[in-house]
Amino acid sequence: MKTFREFLEEATREEADKKRQAKANPNDWVLNNTGSTENPKWGLKSKSARSAQAKRRTDTIKSLNTDDERKAAKRKSERAARRGYEIHHITPLHHSAKLKTSMTGAEWEKRKAEDAEDGIYHGHHPKNLMHVKGPNTSADKPGVRHRAGGAHELESKVKDIVSGSRITYRDLLAAAVKKQRRAAKDK
């Protein structure tokens, strides 16, 4: 039996799909959740906009890291997928990209080196990737959820704290993981 929330989500998704079908070229559009996992808001997004978004993400990753770092990150991503996990960037890509655009090339390399000494990595560096539980991850596997109640939700709640301070996303995620593990251990 469906919960009321599941019923509402299905209804809004069906409504968005009807709007997609009413378009002149419905195959040029995809359903897109503009809300959160907990509170979805279904709408439409053109496939061309979605592919442009993916290209911008790929270009951002290429601009932030070397080929060797990206290859090592790819191996880590594949290992995570084999174990049933997803990958999450500890320092968000948009945060690193914004930092890089405010600096010259030499300043950026210096910043990356200084941050690496503090255990902070940028872009698609393998040490900037963490395994997280996605919707297809088995419930008995340990770890932090990726979206609802997990890493992305924490990022959205603490972005004001992180900007302009030496507190990092990594520190906050580590604290959240420790809290979660203590709670699980106490049960």
pLDDT digits (tens, 9 = 90+) for 64-94: 888 999 999 999 999 999 988 989 888 888 8
d(CA 49, CA 29) in angstroms, rounded, equals 9
- In which domain, by residue range, is 14 found? 4-53
Pair 116, 143 in one domain = yes
58 lies in some domain: no
Pair 32, 112 in one domain = no
Lowest pLDDT segment from 7-11, 142-146, 156-160: 156-160
Averaged confidence pLDDT in the chain: 83
Mean pLDDT of 143-165: 70
Pair 20, 84 in one domain = no
Pair 33, 84 in one domain = no
Q: Determine contact, residues 125/73, Cβ cutoff 8 Å.
A: yes
60 lies in some domain: no
Pair 95, 31 in one domain = no
d(CA 50, CA 56) in angstroms, rounded, equals 10
One-character DSSP codes across 70-95: HHHHHHHHHHHHHTT-EEEESS-HHH
Pair 47, 70 in one domain = no
pTM of the model: 0.72
* % of the chain beyond a pLDDT of 70: 93
Closest among 34, 155, 152 to 86, alpha carbons compared: 152
Which pLDDT value is given to residue 162?
62
158 lies in some domain: yes
Pair 180, 96 in one domain = yes
Which pLDDT value is given to residue 159?
66
Q: How confident is the model over 43-64, as pLDDT tens digits?
A: 888 899 989 988 998 888 888 8
Domain count, the chain: 2
d(CA 21, CA 2) in angstroms, rounded, equals 26
